[in-house]
Structure 1
Amino acid sequence: MEDSILILILTAGFIGGFVDSAVGGGGLIRLPALLAAGLPSHTALATNKFGSTWAAGMSSAQYWMSGIVPKKAASIGWFLMLIMSILGAIAVTKISASWVIILVFIVLLVMFLYVLFKKEFGVEENIREDRIVPVTVSMSTVLGFYDGFLGPGTGNFLIAGYVKEAGFDMKRAAATSKIVNFGGNVGALILFASVGLVNYKVGIPFAIVNIIGGLLGSTYALKYGTKLLRPLFLIISFSLISKIGYDILLS
């Protein structure tokens, strides 16, 4: 692999790790770089998951130790995401995903417009303790399956769900979502690795820069909180909507 291509991949891995840890959506940056480097699509997906899973693990540990995460709910969510993502990954081999991506596009667009025009979204907390575990269970079950089946926007949906339904601010929602979503990453990686799709020659250095970017991203989220997370969330959500919309038009 040429040095220039390797630099592109590592740069994308670092930036993607940062964004993913802060608000989700880092795959928008990482995956195109891996595809541009000439990796086959399934290998690119698996190698991206390898790098992002290591980064998610380190960032999750940082969020866990910060003290802002509801640990019981996050643990339940992690386990459910793990199981459901494996089931989703199995299902994707048997069911067409074309109709699902259209539904995801519509839901993401509605969510983006809601957050855009509701200026106080995620700014102040009004935590509803009795709803944290039920919200986590319902989101992890549905989004875990979706994460294994298709994937785009899982972190964004989790963050929005915690803010809207559990009363979290953006910082607590991002931290909890990262830990829950880590379970889905592990589940998908288990499947990818078991069938030999991960390119470890690219994946190991890719994972290292993802970890560095991820730790910086979680540090950013914990330090600056909602004030800067909300606009970053909107930017990534808009980028994701644009990418999915473009893919739908092409298909």
Structure 2
Amino acid sequence: MPFDLSVAPTTLAILAAVAFLAGFIDAIAGGGGLLTTPALLTAGLPPHLVLGTNKLSSTFGSATASFTYYRRKLFNPSQWRHALVCTGVGSLIGAVVAHYLPAEWLNKMLPVIVFACGLYLLFGGTPKAPLDSNAPIPRRWQAPQGLTLGFYDGVAGPGTGAFWTVSSLLLYPIDLVKASGVARSMNFVSNIAALAVFIFSGQVDWIIGLTMGSSLMVGAFLGARTAINGGAGFIRPVFICVVLALTVRLAWQHWFGQA
């Protein structure tokens, strides 16, 4: 049954604690899945349930973080319509083909790509905020960026927030705080689109997902407020640490065959 308790209450409490920490980190720099996905696997969930359950809990966290950035006027949806729509479409397609796409080559490239993101921010510096905080956002790159990263989040997911942050810094006249707002908002769109597919496929453990989602919401709210108040000087070192940890995790998993 979908609402039967599939793990021990103690395990559920540990998953909730992990989700809180993941939500806090994810709202600042992305990479929350670095904690929640291994935790779900360790709890004994089958891999197909891990993906769907993680999407359910992640949707709660990304919704809370994105709304917090929106309320602080650090994300304007009207400037990102193309990216929002294309992210949703890309994520739907990615979730549908997730079980059919041979992704071995992509998995082996992930550590390299994620590490490159960290190197860019480490040695490339942090872009300054533009003089005009309402500077227009170019639309030319929004569709391909949204389709690509949305598709990737639907198929796999690790590092999507980091990819959004770095690519947005490269493509648009925004600073690190606003790039984090964009990343959280796009994560929410891709999460909810992919979640619809997982729910339709019956690949969600509702009790675990809702419990972790509630903890993620609290962590995401606190993380987003901390990131906004701390600014780029706070986000940058956290982001770099998350990227380096994500690189090690992906390399260990996909290069050396360790779960």
Q: Provide the TM-score with structure 1 as the length reference.
A: 0.93
Q: State the alpha-carbon separation in 2 of the partners of residues 4 and 94 from structure 1.
A: 35
Q: 1:112-151 residue pairs with structure 2 within 5 A?
A: 112-118=118-124, 120-122=125-127, 124-126=128-130, 129=135, 131-151=137-157
User: Which of 27, 35, 38 is the aligned partner of 2:41?
Assistant: 35
**1:44–1:130: structure 2 CA closer, same or farther, 3 Å change rule?**
same
Partner of 1:208: 214
How far did residue 49 of structure 1 move? 0.8
Question: Aligned letter for 1:22?
Answer: I
Partner of 1:18: 24
How far did residue 131 of structure 1 move? 4.9
State the Cα deviation string for residues 88-117 of structure 1 (Å, max 9, x = none): 122232220011122332222222222212
Partner of 2:196: 190
State the Cα deviation string for residues 54-97 of structure 1 (Å, max 9, x = none): 22112211211211213223343222111111111222322200
More helix by share: 1
State the Cα deviation string for residues 206-250 of structure 1 (Å, max 9, x = none): 111111111111111111111110001001101111111111222
Equivalent pairs: percent with the same residue?
27
Contact 1:53 1:185 in 2 (8 A): yes
Residue 199 (structure 1) aligned with residue 219 (structure 2)? no
Partner of 1:222: 228
How far did residue 2 of structure 1 move? 2.9
Partner of 2:112: 106
Mean Cα deviation higher: 237-246 or 108-117 = 108-117
Question: Aligned letter for 1:227?
Answer: G
User: Which of 170, 174, 180 is the aligned partner of 1:168?
Assistant: 174
Q: State the alpha-carbon separation in 2 of the partners of residues 76 and 182 from structure 1.
A: 15
Question: Aligned letter for 1:149?
Answer: V
Q: State the alpha-carbon separation in 2 of the partners of residues 224 and 25 from structure 1.
A: 19
Residue 96 (structure 1) aligned with residue 128 (structure 2)? no
Q: Provide the TM-score with structure 2 as the length reference.
A: 0.90
Q: State the alpha-carbon separation in 2 of the partners of residues 62 and 183 from structure 1.
A: 15
Question: Aligned letter for 2:191?
Answer: N
Contact 1:51 1:210 in 2 (8 A): yes
Contact 1:97 1:150 in 2 (8 A): no
Q: State the alpha-carbon separation in 1 of the partners of residues 112 and 249 from structure 2.
A: 13
Contact 1:127 1:167 in 2 (8 A): no
Partner of 2:4: none
Partner of 1:77: 83
Q: Which runs of 5+ in 2 are unaligned?
A: 1-6
Q: Which runs of 5+ in 1 are unaligned?
A: none
Question: Aligned letter for 1:125?
Answer: A
Q: State the alpha-carbon separation in 1 of the partners of residues 157 and 131 from structure 2.
A: 28
State the Cα deviation string for residues 129-172 of structure 1 (Å, max 9, x = none): 45533233231111111111222111101101111221321111
Q: State the alpha-carbon separation in 1 of the partners of residues 243 and 131 from structure 2.
A: 24
SS of 1:151's equivalent in the other structure is coil
Q: Runs of at least 4 residues of structure 1 off by over 6 A?
A: none
State the Cα deviation string for residues 169-212 of structure 1 (Å, max 9, x = none): 11110011111221100111001111111111212211111111
Cα RMSD for the two superposed structures: 1.8
Q: State the alpha-carbon separation in 2 of the partners of residues 57 and 189 from structure 1.
A: 13
How far did residue 4 of structure 1 move? 2.9
